[in-house]
Protein backbone atom coordinates (compact mmCIF):
# COMPACT_ATOMS: atom_id res chain seq x y z
CA UNK A 1 0.00 0.00 0.00
CA UNK A 2 2.76 2.41 0.88
CA UNK A 3 2.81 5.19 3.43
CA UNK A 4 -0.10 7.62 3.57
CA UNK A 5 0.02 10.77 5.65
CA UNK A 6 -2.63 13.35 6.47
CA UNK A 7 -1.54 16.60 4.92
CA UNK A 8 -3.10 19.58 6.69
CA UNK A 9 -2.66 21.64 3.51
CA UNK A 10 -4.84 19.23 1.50
CA UNK A 11 -7.08 18.27 4.45
CA UNK A 12 -6.78 14.61 3.49
CA UNK A 13 -4.52 11.59 3.61
CA UNK A 14 -2.12 11.52 0.71
CA UNK A 15 0.33 8.97 -0.58
CA UNK A 16 3.76 10.00 0.69
CA UNK A 17 6.28 10.57 -2.07
CA UNK A 18 9.51 12.37 -1.17
CA UNK A 19 10.93 14.98 -3.49
CA UNK A 20 14.04 12.95 -4.08
CA UNK A 21 14.10 9.11 -4.20
CA UNK A 22 14.10 7.66 -0.72
CA UNK A 23 15.51 10.77 0.95
CA UNK A 24 13.19 12.51 3.37
CA UNK A 25 13.83 15.98 4.76
CA UNK A 26 11.88 16.77 7.91
CA UNK A 27 11.70 19.90 10.00
CA UNK A 28 10.23 19.63 13.48
CA UNK A 29 9.28 22.80 15.33
CA UNK A 30 11.13 22.35 18.59
CA UNK A 31 10.73 23.69 22.10
CA UNK A 32 10.85 27.26 23.27
CA UNK A 33 13.21 26.88 26.18
CA UNK A 34 11.71 29.30 28.69
CA UNK A 35 10.39 26.69 31.12
CA UNK A 36 10.03 22.98 31.74
CA UNK A 37 8.42 21.16 28.84
CA UNK A 38 5.11 19.75 30.05
CA UNK A 39 3.56 16.39 29.25
CA UNK A 40 1.47 18.01 26.49
CA UNK A 41 4.53 19.33 24.67
CA UNK A 42 5.91 15.83 24.49
CA UNK A 43 2.94 14.69 22.47
CA UNK A 44 4.39 16.75 19.61
CA UNK A 45 7.80 15.11 19.96
CA UNK A 46 6.65 11.53 20.50
CA UNK A 47 4.58 11.99 17.34
CA UNK A 48 7.56 13.27 15.32
CA UNK A 49 9.65 10.44 16.78
CA UNK A 50 7.15 7.85 15.53
CA UNK A 51 7.16 9.54 12.14
CA UNK A 52 10.95 9.44 12.01
CA UNK A 53 11.16 5.82 13.16
CA UNK A 54 8.44 4.71 10.75
CA UNK A 55 10.22 6.29 7.80
CA UNK A 56 13.49 4.62 8.78
CA UNK A 57 11.64 1.32 9.26
CA UNK A 58 10.27 1.71 5.73
CA UNK A 59 13.84 2.18 4.42
CA UNK A 60 13.82 5.91 3.83
CA UNK A 61 16.93 7.98 4.51
CA UNK A 62 15.81 10.57 6.99
CA UNK A 63 17.36 13.95 7.70
CA UNK A 64 15.48 15.56 10.54
CA UNK A 65 16.12 19.03 11.87
CA UNK A 66 14.75 20.35 15.11
CA UNK A 67 15.17 23.89 16.31
CA UNK A 68 15.49 25.22 19.81
CA UNK A 69 13.78 28.59 20.15
CA UNK A 70 15.88 30.61 22.55
CA UNK A 71 14.92 34.10 21.41
CA UNK A 72 12.05 35.96 19.78
CA UNK A 73 8.99 33.92 20.84
CA UNK A 74 6.69 36.47 22.40
CA UNK A 75 4.09 35.63 25.04
CA UNK A 76 1.51 35.77 22.26
CA UNK A 77 2.09 34.01 18.95
CA UNK A 78 1.19 37.34 17.34
CA UNK A 79 3.52 40.29 17.82
CA UNK A 80 2.37 41.38 21.23
CA UNK A 81 3.67 40.81 24.69
CA UNK A 82 7.15 40.12 25.87
CA UNK A 83 9.85 37.66 24.82
CA UNK A 84 9.12 34.47 26.80
CA UNK A 85 12.82 34.01 27.53
CA UNK A 86 13.25 37.49 29.00
CA UNK A 87 10.16 37.09 31.13
CA UNK A 88 11.45 33.88 32.76
CA UNK A 89 14.91 35.36 33.20
CA UNK A 90 13.42 38.29 35.11
CA UNK A 91 11.19 36.07 37.22
CA UNK A 92 13.99 33.67 38.10
CA UNK A 93 16.65 36.36 38.46
CA UNK A 94 19.01 34.63 36.04
CA UNK A 95 20.43 35.59 32.67
CA UNK A 96 18.51 34.67 29.52
CA UNK A 97 21.47 32.58 28.37
CA UNK A 98 21.45 30.66 31.59
CA UNK A 99 17.68 30.09 31.31
CA UNK A 100 18.01 28.94 27.71
CA UNK A 101 20.68 26.31 28.35
CA UNK A 102 19.09 25.11 31.57
CA UNK A 103 15.68 24.37 30.06
CA UNK A 104 17.20 23.05 26.87
CA UNK A 105 19.21 20.48 28.84
CA UNK A 106 16.14 19.57 30.78
CA UNK A 107 14.18 19.07 27.58
CA UNK A 108 16.73 16.69 26.11
CA UNK A 109 17.05 14.73 29.35
CA UNK A 110 13.29 14.12 29.32
CA UNK A 111 13.38 13.39 25.59
CA UNK A 112 15.95 10.69 26.24
CA UNK A 113 13.85 9.15 28.99
CA UNK A 114 11.02 8.89 26.48
CA UNK A 115 13.39 7.18 24.04
CA UNK A 116 13.01 9.94 21.48
CA UNK A 117 15.63 9.49 18.79
CA UNK A 118 17.78 12.57 18.53
CA UNK A 119 17.10 14.53 15.34
CA UNK A 120 20.10 14.67 12.99
CA UNK A 121 20.63 18.36 13.57
CA UNK A 122 19.47 20.43 16.51
CA UNK A 123 19.80 24.14 15.88
CA UNK A 124 19.48 27.02 18.26
CA UNK A 125 17.90 30.21 16.97
CA UNK A 126 20.55 32.37 18.64
CA UNK A 127 23.26 30.64 16.61
CA UNK A 128 21.55 31.29 13.26
CA UNK A 129 20.74 34.97 13.40
CA UNK A 130 22.91 35.60 10.30
CA UNK A 131 20.76 33.27 8.21
CA UNK A 132 17.64 35.01 9.51
CA UNK A 133 18.98 38.45 8.62
CA UNK A 134 19.82 37.20 5.12
CA UNK A 135 16.29 35.92 4.65
CA UNK A 136 14.76 39.19 5.88
CA UNK A 137 17.07 41.10 3.50
CA UNK A 138 15.79 38.98 0.64
CA UNK A 139 12.20 39.76 1.56
CA UNK A 140 13.04 43.46 1.81
CA UNK A 141 14.63 43.37 -1.66
CA UNK A 142 11.61 41.62 -3.11
CA UNK A 143 9.29 44.27 -1.68
CA UNK A 144 7.27 42.13 0.72
CA UNK A 145 8.13 44.20 3.78
CA UNK A 146 7.99 47.66 5.31
CA UNK A 147 9.81 49.29 8.16
CA UNK A 148 8.37 51.14 11.14
CA UNK A 149 10.12 52.78 14.07
CA UNK A 150 9.81 49.48 15.94
CA UNK A 151 10.15 46.62 13.47
CA UNK A 152 10.40 45.20 9.97
CA UNK A 153 7.07 43.68 8.99
CA UNK A 154 5.96 41.21 6.39
CA UNK A 155 3.00 42.80 4.60
CA UNK A 156 0.45 40.01 4.36
CA UNK A 157 -1.82 41.40 1.58
CA UNK A 158 1.14 41.16 -0.82
CA UNK A 159 1.25 37.39 -0.48
CA UNK A 160 -1.53 35.65 -2.40
CA UNK A 161 -3.44 32.92 -0.64
CA UNK A 162 -1.95 33.72 2.75
CA UNK A 163 -4.48 31.59 4.64
CA UNK A 164 -4.21 28.47 2.49
CA UNK A 165 -3.00 26.33 5.40
CA UNK A 166 -5.51 27.50 8.00
CA UNK A 167 -8.39 27.97 5.52
CA UNK A 168 -9.51 30.89 7.63
CA UNK A 169 -10.72 33.90 5.73
CA UNK A 170 -8.46 36.89 6.15
CA UNK A 171 -11.40 38.66 7.84
CA UNK A 172 -11.61 35.96 10.52
CA UNK A 173 -7.89 36.27 10.95
CA UNK A 174 -8.15 40.05 11.35
CA UNK A 175 -10.82 39.65 14.04
CA UNK A 176 -8.61 37.17 15.91
CA UNK A 177 -5.65 39.52 15.77
CA UNK A 178 -7.69 42.60 16.77
CA UNK A 179 -8.55 40.95 20.06
CA UNK A 180 -4.95 41.50 21.00
CA UNK A 181 -3.59 44.88 21.96
CA UNK A 182 -1.84 46.51 19.04
CA UNK A 183 1.56 47.66 20.17
CA UNK A 184 2.75 49.33 16.98
CA UNK A 185 0.50 52.11 15.63
CA UNK A 186 2.45 52.11 12.35
CA UNK A 187 1.50 48.53 11.53
CA UNK A 188 -0.42 48.64 8.24
CA UNK A 189 -2.48 45.49 8.39
CA UNK A 190 -3.54 43.59 11.51
CA UNK A 191 -2.23 40.30 10.12
CA UNK A 192 1.21 41.71 9.28
CA UNK A 193 3.89 40.09 11.39
CA UNK A 194 7.34 41.14 12.54
CA UNK A 195 10.39 39.62 10.90
CA UNK A 196 12.76 41.70 12.97
CA UNK A 197 12.17 43.61 16.20
CA UNK A 198 14.27 46.66 16.83
CA UNK A 199 15.81 47.06 20.25
CA UNK A 200 13.91 50.22 21.04
CA UNK A 201 10.93 51.26 23.18
CA UNK A 202 9.39 48.11 24.69
CA UNK A 203 12.43 46.13 23.60
CA UNK A 204 15.02 48.72 24.49
CA UNK A 205 16.47 46.57 27.24
CA UNK A 206 16.12 43.27 25.46
CA UNK A 207 19.08 41.22 26.66
CA UNK A 208 19.61 39.30 23.44
CA UNK A 209 20.28 41.61 20.53
CA UNK A 210 22.28 41.56 17.33
CA UNK A 211 23.43 44.12 14.81
CA UNK A 212 21.52 44.20 11.53
CA UNK A 213 20.93 46.51 8.54
CA UNK A 214 18.01 47.90 10.60
CA UNK A 215 20.02 48.51 13.74
CA UNK A 216 20.31 46.43 16.88
CA UNK A 217 17.45 44.02 17.44
CA UNK A 218 16.33 40.41 17.38
CA UNK A 219 14.47 38.10 15.00
CA UNK A 220 10.79 37.21 15.16
CA UNK A 221 9.92 33.61 16.03
CA UNK A 222 8.47 32.71 12.61
CA UNK A 223 11.49 33.75 10.54
CA UNK A 224 13.68 31.52 12.69
CA UNK A 225 12.00 28.34 11.51
CA UNK A 226 12.00 29.41 7.85
CA UNK A 227 15.67 30.40 7.90
CA UNK A 228 16.94 27.34 9.74
CA UNK A 229 14.84 24.80 7.87
CA UNK A 230 15.90 26.13 4.47
CA UNK A 231 19.52 26.47 5.53
CA UNK A 232 19.78 22.76 6.32
CA UNK A 233 17.16 21.21 4.08
CA UNK A 234 16.93 23.40 1.00
CA UNK A 235 14.06 25.55 -0.23
CA UNK A 236 11.49 22.76 -0.37
CA UNK A 237 11.07 20.37 2.55
CA UNK A 238 9.28 17.06 2.41
CA UNK A 239 7.66 17.23 5.84
CA UNK A 240 7.15 19.89 8.49
CA UNK A 241 5.70 18.92 11.86
CA UNK A 242 4.28 20.78 14.85
CA UNK A 243 1.29 21.04 17.14
CA UNK A 244 -2.10 21.93 15.70
CA UNK A 245 -1.96 25.32 17.43
CA UNK A 246 0.75 26.34 14.96
CA UNK A 247 -1.55 26.17 11.95
CA UNK A 248 -3.22 29.60 11.97
CA UNK A 249 -0.21 31.78 12.84
CA UNK A 250 3.25 30.26 13.06
CA UNK A 251 3.11 27.88 10.11
CA UNK A 252 0.93 30.20 8.07
CA UNK A 253 3.60 32.87 8.48
CA UNK A 254 6.40 30.42 7.74
CA UNK A 255 4.77 29.59 4.40
CA UNK A 256 4.24 33.24 3.49
CA UNK A 257 7.78 34.40 4.16
CA UNK A 258 9.51 31.29 2.76
CA UNK A 259 7.50 31.13 -0.45
CA UNK A 260 7.69 34.90 -0.93
CA UNK A 261 11.49 34.66 -0.68
CA UNK A 262 12.05 31.67 -2.95
CA UNK A 263 9.03 31.61 -5.25
CA UNK A 264 8.92 27.85 -4.57
CA UNK A 265 6.66 25.60 -2.59
CA UNK A 266 8.03 25.52 0.96
CA UNK A 267 6.65 22.24 2.36
CA UNK A 268 5.09 19.28 0.62
CA UNK A 269 3.44 17.62 3.63
CA UNK A 270 2.31 19.57 6.69
CA UNK A 271 1.71 17.25 9.64
CA UNK A 272 0.11 18.41 12.89
CA UNK A 273 -0.51 16.59 16.14
CA UNK A 274 -3.60 17.29 18.15
CA UNK A 275 -3.57 18.31 21.80
CA UNK A 276 -3.26 16.46 25.04
CA UNK A 277 -5.96 17.44 27.49
CA UNK A 278 -5.86 16.79 31.20
CA UNK A 279 -8.90 15.31 32.93
CA UNK A 280 -10.99 16.51 30.02
CA UNK A 281 -9.85 20.12 30.16
CA UNK A 282 -7.09 22.48 29.23
CA UNK A 283 -3.72 22.33 30.90
CA UNK A 284 -2.60 25.48 32.61
CA UNK A 285 -0.40 26.72 35.37
CA UNK A 286 -3.33 28.29 37.17
CA UNK A 287 -5.21 24.97 37.28
CA UNK A 288 -2.12 23.28 38.70
CA UNK A 289 -2.27 20.52 36.10
CA UNK A 290 0.72 21.47 34.01
CA UNK A 291 2.59 18.26 34.77
CA UNK A 292 6.14 17.47 33.76
CA UNK A 293 7.57 14.04 33.13
CA UNK A 294 9.19 14.35 36.57
CA UNK A 295 5.75 14.79 38.18
CA UNK A 296 4.69 11.52 36.55
CA UNK A 297 7.81 9.74 37.75
CA UNK A 298 7.20 11.03 41.27
CA UNK A 299 3.84 9.23 41.13
CA UNK A 300 5.38 5.98 39.97
CA UNK A 301 4.71 6.33 36.25
CA UNK A 302 7.74 5.35 34.18
CA UNK A 303 8.54 7.52 31.15
CA UNK A 304 8.18 4.58 28.76
CA UNK A 305 4.73 3.86 30.19
CA UNK A 306 3.89 7.42 29.31
CA UNK A 307 5.22 6.78 25.80
CA UNK A 308 2.89 3.78 25.62
CA UNK A 309 0.02 5.99 26.74
CA UNK A 310 0.57 8.28 23.74
CA UNK A 311 0.25 5.34 21.39
CA UNK A 312 -3.25 4.57 22.65
CA UNK A 313 -4.58 7.42 20.50
CA UNK A 314 -3.80 8.36 16.91
CA UNK A 315 -1.83 11.60 16.79
CA UNK A 316 -4.59 13.56 15.07
CA UNK A 317 -7.21 12.95 17.76
CA UNK A 318 -7.23 14.66 21.13
CA UNK A 319 -5.90 12.51 23.91
CA UNK A 320 -7.18 12.80 27.45
CA UNK A 321 -4.69 12.43 30.28
CA UNK A 322 -5.99 10.87 33.48
CA UNK A 323 -3.95 9.14 36.17
CA UNK A 324 -6.09 6.10 35.65
CA UNK A 325 -5.35 5.99 31.92
CA UNK A 326 -1.57 6.30 32.34
CA UNK A 327 -1.74 3.70 35.09
CA UNK A 328 -3.51 1.37 32.65
CA UNK A 329 -0.83 2.09 30.03
CA UNK A 330 1.83 1.16 32.57
CA UNK A 331 0.06 -2.15 33.32
CA UNK A 332 -0.16 -2.93 29.61
CA UNK A 333 3.51 -2.22 29.09
CA UNK A 334 4.37 -4.38 32.10
CA UNK A 335 2.34 -7.22 30.57
CA UNK A 336 4.29 -6.79 27.36
CA UNK A 337 7.57 -7.05 29.30
CA UNK A 338 6.20 -10.09 31.07
CA UNK A 339 5.52 -11.81 27.77
CA UNK A 340 9.00 -10.99 26.49
CA UNK A 341 10.52 -12.32 29.71
CA UNK A 342 8.54 -15.51 29.39
CA UNK A 343 9.54 -15.97 25.74
CA UNK A 344 13.18 -15.33 26.64
CA UNK A 345 12.99 -17.90 29.43
CA UNK A 346 11.51 -20.41 27.02
CA UNK A 347 14.66 -19.85 25.00
CA UNK A 348 12.37 -18.98 22.12
CA UNK A 349 14.92 -18.18 19.48
CA UNK A 350 13.83 -20.68 16.87
CA UNK A 351 12.84 -19.59 13.37
CA UNK A 352 10.00 -17.12 13.19
CA UNK A 353 6.76 -19.04 12.55
CA UNK A 354 4.87 -18.46 9.32
CA UNK A 355 1.71 -17.58 11.17
CA UNK A 356 3.40 -14.44 12.53
CA UNK A 357 3.52 -12.87 9.06
CA UNK A 358 -0.10 -11.84 9.37
CA UNK A 359 0.66 -9.74 12.45
CA UNK A 360 3.66 -8.11 10.84
CA UNK A 361 1.37 -7.08 7.99
CA UNK A 362 -1.24 -5.82 10.41
CA UNK A 363 1.36 -3.74 12.26
CA UNK A 364 2.90 -2.29 9.09
CA UNK A 365 -0.49 -1.45 7.58
CA UNK A 366 -1.49 0.39 10.73
CA UNK A 367 1.60 2.59 10.61
CA UNK A 368 1.37 3.13 6.90
CA UNK A 369 -2.13 4.43 7.46
CA UNK A 370 -1.11 7.83 8.82
CA UNK A 371 0.84 6.36 11.76
CA UNK A 372 -2.11 4.67 13.41
CA UNK A 373 -0.46 3.66 16.68
CA UNK A 374 -3.58 2.27 18.45
CA UNK A 375 -3.99 -0.20 15.61
CA UNK A 376 -0.27 -1.00 15.72
CA UNK A 377 -0.62 -1.78 19.43
CA UNK A 378 -3.60 -3.98 18.65
CA UNK A 379 -1.37 -5.95 16.26
CA UNK A 380 1.15 -6.44 19.08
CA UNK A 381 -1.52 -7.84 21.39
CA UNK A 382 -3.09 -9.99 18.68
CA UNK A 383 0.33 -11.50 18.03
CA UNK A 384 0.87 -12.20 21.72
CA UNK A 385 -2.58 -13.74 22.12
CA UNK A 386 -1.91 -16.05 19.18
CA UNK A 387 1.54 -16.99 20.51
CA UNK A 388 0.02 -17.89 23.86
CA UNK A 389 -2.78 -19.86 22.21
CA UNK A 390 -0.33 -21.86 20.14
CA UNK A 391 2.26 -21.96 22.94
CA UNK A 392 4.71 -20.92 20.26
CA UNK A 393 6.99 -18.23 21.61
CA UNK A 394 9.34 -17.83 18.66
CA UNK A 395 8.06 -14.34 17.99
CA UNK A 396 10.68 -12.25 19.75
CA UNK A 397 12.20 -11.26 16.42
CA UNK A 398 8.81 -9.87 15.40
CA UNK A 399 8.43 -7.91 18.62
CA UNK A 400 11.98 -6.59 18.42
CA UNK A 401 11.24 -5.32 14.92
CA UNK A 402 8.06 -3.64 16.13
CA UNK A 403 10.10 -2.12 18.91
CA UNK A 404 12.13 -0.18 16.34
CA UNK A 405 9.07 2.04 16.31
CA UNK A 406 7.56 1.41 19.72
CA UNK A 407 10.84 2.19 21.46
CA UNK A 408 10.12 0.24 24.66
CA UNK A 409 13.59 -1.34 24.93
CA UNK A 410 12.01 -4.79 24.67
CA UNK A 411 15.28 -6.48 23.86
CA UNK A 412 16.77 -5.30 27.14
CA UNK A 413 13.94 -6.76 29.20
CA UNK A 414 15.70 -8.44 32.16
CA UNK A 415 15.02 -12.12 32.66
CA UNK A 416 13.99 -11.50 36.22
CA UNK A 417 11.20 -9.10 36.98
CA UNK A 418 12.45 -6.12 38.87
CA UNK A 419 10.89 -5.75 42.30
CA UNK A 420 8.97 -2.43 42.37
CA UNK A 421 10.93 0.19 44.26
CA UNK A 422 8.64 0.50 47.26
CA UNK A 423 8.89 -3.26 47.91
CA UNK A 424 12.61 -3.36 47.28
CA UNK A 425 12.96 -0.75 50.03
CA UNK A 426 11.03 -2.97 52.43
CA UNK A 427 13.18 -5.99 51.59
CA UNK A 428 16.30 -3.92 52.25
CA UNK A 429 14.89 -2.68 55.55
CA UNK A 430 14.09 -6.26 56.58
CA UNK A 431 17.62 -7.27 55.73
CA UNK A 432 18.94 -4.57 58.07
CA UNK A 433 16.54 -5.66 60.83
CA UNK A 434 17.81 -9.24 60.47
CA UNK A 435 21.40 -8.12 60.66
CA UNK A 436 20.52 -6.26 63.87
CA UNK A 437 18.78 -9.43 65.07
CA UNK A 438 15.53 -7.47 65.39
CA UNK A 439 13.41 -10.49 64.51
CA UNK A 440 10.13 -8.87 65.46
CA UNK A 441 10.65 -6.03 62.99
CA UNK A 442 11.85 -8.45 60.31
CA UNK A 443 8.69 -10.52 60.69
CA UNK A 444 6.54 -7.42 60.59
CA UNK A 445 8.12 -6.45 57.27
CA UNK A 446 7.75 -9.95 55.87
CA UNK A 447 4.04 -9.81 56.77
CA UNK A 448 3.67 -6.40 55.12
CA UNK A 449 5.19 -7.74 51.89
CA UNK A 450 3.04 -10.85 52.04
CA UNK A 451 -0.07 -8.70 52.29
CA UNK A 452 1.07 -7.05 49.06
CA UNK A 453 1.46 -10.46 47.41
CA UNK A 454 5.27 -10.63 47.61
CA UNK A 455 6.57 -13.84 49.19
CA UNK A 456 10.12 -14.01 50.57
CA UNK A 457 12.37 -16.97 50.97
CA UNK A 458 15.66 -16.72 52.88
CA UNK A 459 18.35 -18.81 51.27
CA UNK A 460 22.02 -19.15 52.18
CA UNK A 461 22.94 -17.03 49.14
CA UNK A 462 20.42 -14.33 50.03
CA UNK A 463 16.73 -13.55 50.11
CA UNK A 464 14.70 -14.19 46.98
CA UNK A 465 11.17 -13.10 46.23
CA UNK A 466 8.27 -14.25 44.11
CA UNK A 467 4.74 -13.14 43.51
CA UNK A 468 1.98 -15.00 45.27
Using CB under 6 A, list all residues that contact ligand AMP.
29, 31-32, 40-41, 43-44, 242-243, 245-246, 273, 275-276, 283
**How many other C-beta atoms can be found within 10 angstroms of the C-beta atom of residue 169?**
10
Which 160-189 residues touch Zn ion, going by CB under 5 A?
Answer: none
CB-nearer residue toward ligand AMP: 155 or 251: 251
Q: Give yes or no for residue 129 binding Zn ion (CB under 5 A).
A: no
Which option in Zn ion, ligand AMP, none does residue 245 bind, with CB closer than 5 to 8 A by kind? ligand AMP
Distance, in Å, from the CA atom of 237 to the CA atom of 267, rounded to the nearest integer, reads 5
Q: If contact means CB under 5 to 8 A according to the sort of partner, which of ligand AMP, Zn ion, none does residue 272 touch? A: none
Nearest alpha carbon to residue 202 among 213, 211, 194: 194
User: Which CB, 293 or 380, lies closer to ligand AMP?
Assistant: 293
Please give the Cα distance from 341 to 415 (Å, whole number): 5
Q: Report the nearest approach of Zn ion to the CB of residue 193 (Å).
A: 13
Contacts of Zn ion in 316-375 (CB under 5 A): none
32 binds, among Zn ion, ligand AMP, none (CB under 5 to 8 A by kind): ligand AMP
Beta carbon of residue 86, minimum distance to Zn ion (angstroms, whole number): 19
Output 29 or 152, the one with its CB closest to ligand AMP.
29
Minimum CB distance to Zn ion, residue 220 (Å): 11
Least separation in angstroms between CB 288 and Zn ion: 28
The item of ligand AMP, Zn ion, none sharing an interface with residue 225, based on CB under 5 to 8 Å by kind, is Zn ion
Q: 459 phi and psi, to 5 degrees?
A: -115, 165
Identity of the residue, 41 or 166, whose beta carbon is nearer to ligand AMP in the bound complex: 41
Does 29 bind Zn ion (CB under 5 A)? Our answer is yes
Residue 44 binding target from Zn ion, ligand AMP, none, CB below 5 to 8 Å by type? ligand AMP
Q: How many C-alpha atoms does 7 have within 13 Å on its Cβ side?
A: 15
The site partner of 243 among Zn ion, ligand AMP, none (C-beta below 5 to 8 Å per kind) is ligand AMP
Q: What's the gap between Cα 24 and its chain centre?
A: 19
Q: What angle do CA 248, 149, 71 make, to 5 degrees?
A: 50
Minimal distance, residue 321 CB to ligand AMP, in Å: 9
Give the Å distances, CA to CA, from 323 to 154, 288, 328, 360.
45, 14, 9, 32
The residue count for binding Zn ion (CB under 5 A) is 2
Q: Which is nearer to ligand AMP, 245 or 401 (CB)?
A: 245
Convert residues 225-254 into a mask of x (bound to Zn ion by CB under 5 A) and - (unbound).
x-----------------------------
Q: Which residues bind Zn ion (CB under 5 A)?
A: 29, 225
Amino acid sequence: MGLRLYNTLARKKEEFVPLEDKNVRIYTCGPTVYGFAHIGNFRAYVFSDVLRRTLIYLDYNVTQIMNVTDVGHLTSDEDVGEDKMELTARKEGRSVWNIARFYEDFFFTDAQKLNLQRPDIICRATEHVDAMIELVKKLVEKGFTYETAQAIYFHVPLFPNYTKLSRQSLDEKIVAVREEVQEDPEKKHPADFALWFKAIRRFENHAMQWDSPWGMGFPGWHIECSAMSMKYLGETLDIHTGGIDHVPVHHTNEIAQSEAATGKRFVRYWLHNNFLRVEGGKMSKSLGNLYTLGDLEARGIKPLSYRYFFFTAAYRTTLNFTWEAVGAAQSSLNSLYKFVRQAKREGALGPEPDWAREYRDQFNKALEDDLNTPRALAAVWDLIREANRRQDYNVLSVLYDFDKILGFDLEQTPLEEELPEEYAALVAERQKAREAKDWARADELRKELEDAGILLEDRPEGTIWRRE
